[in-house]
Amino acid sequence: MAISWKSAQRRQQGFTLIEVMVAMVIAMAVVAAAFTILVTSNKAARVNSQVADTQQNARLAMDLIATDIKLAGFNMTGTIGNCTVGNPPVPVPIVPLDNTPGGVVGAINDVGPDSVRMVVPALTAGSTGGLPVLAANGVGDATTITLSAADVAAMGAAGMAVGSVVSIGGGHASRITATAATILTLEKPLPPSPGGTVLFPIGTPVYLLQCVTYAVSNVAATCGGSATCLTRNGISMVDGIEDLQLAYGCDGCNTAPPNPPLPNRVVDEQDASGGTFTQGDLITNSLWSVVPMTPDKIKLVQVTIVARQNQAEQGVAETGAMASNTTGPLIVSDHDPSADAGYNVTTYNSQRRRVLTRTIQVRNIES
Amino acid sequence: MNLRLGNEKGFTLIEGLVAAAILGIGLLGLAGMQGISLNRNLDANESGRVTNIAADMVERIKFNRVNALSYNNLNTGAGCGAIPVAQVMARGDCTQWQTLVNNSGLNSAQGLVQVVRLDADPTLNPITLNQFQVIVQVNWMGSMKGEGSTALRAKQAVFATVLAPE
């Protein structure tokens, strides 16, 4: 028993101080390495999510605005909302609203993002969040159309009133002169149909035409906390959109030689480049060579979207040094952001940006 | 009692070090995933830009669809000299698209267009849909390297559509 006790005592010697210190140093090295990885991973994850968000926002904004530009016009008739130019107001399908209109063709004179108004069909004005549809066949010469009461109510909620314009199946547009529970009275009767044939069968979609305004807001309250956003009729649609620039190619809006007097499917010469189609023929400053401005002749719209991340770029370095992009202000179309009010080079350089440019053919504008 | 005391042996230093090394390798793998994620993000950015570049050309051809054939064999690497001067839109579209492709920031980017007549020419056969197949292709070198490789990756995006002039 005594021997056994002694042997046990010998075994309970434990670590020496040196051993403990070595073990602690190793443990600390492991913990420090793990912590470094944690910190850098965290930073990298944040950068990743911001980059992904920025790219996603740019794509979203481009798709949204491209869809509406393709639809703009939509068989419109008469004045819709404030989609007009000049005084007395002339209804037009697209109203270019340059930030700084005028100036020399091709001059970089904008100090902020452009906006644009266009006539587009409301695609979610129906009772189920889709399109309202005819509840009874539309026959020739009819002065009314019948919809379900739910659809009429939903269209009312979407802004339909006496004076609004609806397009039936995209084929016949008319102003509404009276609304009842299920009946809309048309100012312009349906086209005549011999023998009373059905022109628009039950289920034909009815499009409520609206004038929408696309703009870029930098009011945090409008943007739901984001620094900048793309708004549609004042409602924030896409976060983190810093700039929207539009350039327009028109056919038939400049009749001075070398342009022919009538539209010829060639974008009009605007920059005196000798009859060739150049970037300068896309008007960036709402200044058409021949007044009055005739935006109904717009055939091509070049959209440039600049998206930026919402927070300053922190980089992935452990030291906390801010990442900086020193390539200078991003000049798109006729906008040089370094001329903007409140431009700060340090802030500007610490934000990552993504730019997308696309030229879009307008499909629904008659001229 | 002997049994209990014998069990009080801890890990050896070597065992501890091996465990730390394994943990370290695991953590490095986790950190590596962030890098992969960043690379894929940049790939996504390139794809997004290429999609817009191609959409730009498709829209331009759609506007000038009557002269769609004059865009055939357009190559931003070769210039726009082959397009007849009379084709004002096609020439302008070519030079502007060339600028867009060259300034896209994509490595060695090159845009190509193929337009093929699918139906008989309406001047020869009035009963025809007069369709054209339009293929817009963008080639570029992926800016980010693949894992374990230092070479840039040749990438290609092909967009095909059919259009019919009225």
pLDDT at B145 over 70: no
Distance CA A210, CA A68 (A): 11
Q: Tell me what the mean pLDDT of segment B99-125 comes to.
A: 90
CA distance A148 to chain B (A): 37
Sign of CA dihedral A340, A342, A348, A354: negative
Query: Closest partner residue to B89 among A41, A55, A266, by Cβ?
Result: A266
CA distance A269 to chain B (A): 11
Query: Closest partner residue to B16 among A11, A26, A359, by Cβ?
Result: A26
DSSP, collapsed to helix, strand or coil, labels residue A8 as helix
pLDDT tier at B47, thresholds 50, 70, 90: very high
Q: Side-chain half-sphere of B158: how many Cα atoms within 13 Å?
A: 5
Chain A residue with minimal CA distance to B39? Answer: A48
Residue B134: Cβ within 10 Å count? 22
Sites in chain A below the pLDDT cut of 70: 1-12, 288-293, 317-321, 366-367
Distance CA A162, CA A157 (A): 13
Model pLDDT, residue B20 = 81
Residue A276: Cβ within 10 Å count? 16
Model pLDDT, residue B146 = 56
A55–B45 CB contact, under 8 Å: yes
Distance CA B58, CA B97 (A): 11
Query: Which residues, in sequence order, are CB contacts of A103 under 8 Å at separation 6+?
Result: A109, A285, A287
Model pLDDT, residue A246 = 94
B30–A37 CB contact, under 8 Å: yes
DSSP A241-255: EEEEEEEEEESSS--
pLDDT tier at B142, thresholds 50, 70, 90: confident
Model pLDDT, residue A12 = 66
Instruction: Walk across the sheet containing A298-308 and list its strands.
Output: A241-250, A298-308, A353-361
ipTM, two decimals, is: 0.85
B59–A4 CB contact, under 8 Å: no
Q: Tell me what the mean pLDDT of segment B46-62 comes to.
A: 94
Distance CA B99, CA A278 (A): 11
pTM: 0.87
Model pLDDT, residue A4 = 55
For testing the chain A interface, which of B23, B57, B59, B66 should be mutated: the one with the most A CBs within 10 Å?
B59
Q: Tell me what the mean pLDDT of segment B65-77 comes to.
A: 92
Residues in chain A whose Cβ is within 8 Å of chain B: 4, 8, 11-12, 19, 22-23, 26, 30, 33-34, 37, 40-41, 44-45, 47-48, 51-52, 55, 58-59, 62, 66, 265-267, 275-279, 281, 299-300, 354, 356-361
Model pLDDT, residue A6 = 57
For testing the chain B interface, which of A271, A361, A364, A367 should be mutated: the one with the most B CBs within 10 Å?
A361
| Nearest C-alpha neighbor of B36 from the set B149, B140, B139, B141 | B149
B23–A34 CB contact, under 8 Å: yes
pLDDT digits (tens, 9 = 90+) for A22-63: 888 988 988 888 888 888 888 888 888 889 999 999 999 999
Beta strands A90-91 and A353-361: pairing type?
Answer: unpaired
Q: Tell me what the mean pLDDT of segment B134-152 comes to.
A: 79
Chain A and chain B share a number of CB contacts under 8 A equal to 107
pLDDT at B1 over 50: no
Model pLDDT, residue A77 = 83
Average pLDDT, chain B: 86
pLDDT digits (tens, 9 = 90+) for A228-274: 999 999 999 999 999 999 999 988 887 777 888 888 888 888 887 88
